[in-house]
């Protein structure tokens, strides 16, 4: 193994074996998550760990119902079918032994405060916010978690799609932390045998520009 194999071998796992994940291992992955970079070191994340299979199933049903309700708003059958074609990706966490719900709070941007207090144009304020720094911090923490899980022999799947049902999910797990909202979910467990291969990546020359 090379030192970076835990990166190159990571892939989204949507099928899991019926095996528990020790709490000590979960805590190690969460510790890795908290070592991610965050803007101004605000560490604007919080993690809720679910291991109750019935509750996980309940959340999957909530997401399914929400997804279908959105689909029913489609103006034509083609859009409805396209929308519903991804439902299995949004609810694949239903068979995972562990689901981690990732919460985030608003990023406190001092430059936004300064510019707003000086009546900066809305376009300038929007430009300051466009980097979505708080969300980027959450993504970095999640990636640390995913890579730690891979290095420890576990499979994961990172999902933001289910958050269209965030209010119902938050109510179902009866968790509230002032200023925080659900940003994403991670399913975690021992990967099933013969899971689908990792999809190909775009070639570097397509996604990289050097300016010398």
Is residue 205 included in any domain, yes or no?
Answer: no
Count of structural domains within the chain: 1
Residue 132 backbone phi and psi in degrees, to 5? 50, 55
Handedness of CA 55, 158, 95, 27 (dihedral sign): negative
In angstroms, rounded to a whole number, what is the distance separating the alpha carbons of residues 121 and 113? 13
Is residue 184 included in any domain, yes or no?
Answer: yes
Residue range 150-159: average pLDDT? 97
Residue 9 has pLDDT above 90, yes or no: yes
- SS3 for 98? strand
Give the start-end residues of each E strand in 68-211.
98-105, 155-159, 180-189
The predicted model scores a pTM of 0.92
Residue range 10-21: average pLDDT? 96
Lowest-confidence range among 15-29, 47-61, 119-133, 176-190?
Answer: 119-133
Question: How do residues 99-138 score in pLDDT, each as one tens digit?
Answer: 999 999 988 889 889 988 999 999 998 998 888 899 999 9
Containing structural domain, residue 56: 5-192
- CATH number for the domain spanning 188: value is 3.40.109.10
**What is the predicted pLDDT for the residue at 160?**
96
Portion of the chain with pLDDT greater than 70, in percent = 99
Q: Are 109 and 133 in contact (CB under 8 A)?
A: yes
**What is the predicted pLDDT for the residue at 1?**
47
In angstroms, rounded to a whole number, what is the distance separating the alpha carbons of residues 153 and 147? 10
Query: Residue 2: which pLDDT band, with cuts at 50, 70 and 90?
Result: low
Is residue 71 included in any domain, yes or no?
Answer: yes
In angstroms, rounded to a whole number, what is the distance separating the alpha carbons of residues 181 and 97? 23
The DSSP string of 152-164 is TT-EEEEE-GGGG
């Amino acid at each position: 193994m090379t030192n970076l194999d835990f990166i190159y071998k990571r892939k989204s796992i949507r099928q899991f074996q019926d095996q528990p994940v020790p709490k000590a291992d979960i805590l190690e992955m969460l510790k890795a998550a908290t070592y991610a970079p965050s803007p101004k070191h605000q560490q604007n994340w919080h993690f809720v760990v679910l291991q109750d299979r019935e509750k996980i199933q309940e959340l999957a049903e909530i997401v399914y119902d929400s997804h279908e309700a959105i689909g029913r708003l489609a103006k034509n059958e083609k859009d409805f079918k396209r929308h519903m074609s991804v439902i299995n990706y949004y609810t694949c966490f239903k068979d995972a032994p562990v689901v981690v719900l990732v919460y985030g709070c608003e990023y406190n941007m001092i430059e936004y405060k300064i510019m707003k207090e000086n009546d900066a144009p809305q376009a300038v304020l929007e430009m300051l916010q466009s980097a979505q720094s708080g969300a980027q911090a959450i993504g970095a923490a999640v990636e640390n978690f995913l890579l730690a899980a891979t290095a420890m022999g576990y499979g994961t799947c990172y999902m933001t799609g289910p958050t269209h049902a965030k209010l119902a999910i938050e109510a179902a797990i009866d968790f509230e932390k002032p200023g925080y909202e659900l940003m994403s979910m991670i399913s975690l467990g021992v990967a099933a045998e013969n899971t689908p291969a990792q999809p190909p990546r775009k070639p570097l020359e397509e996604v990289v520009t050097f300016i010398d």
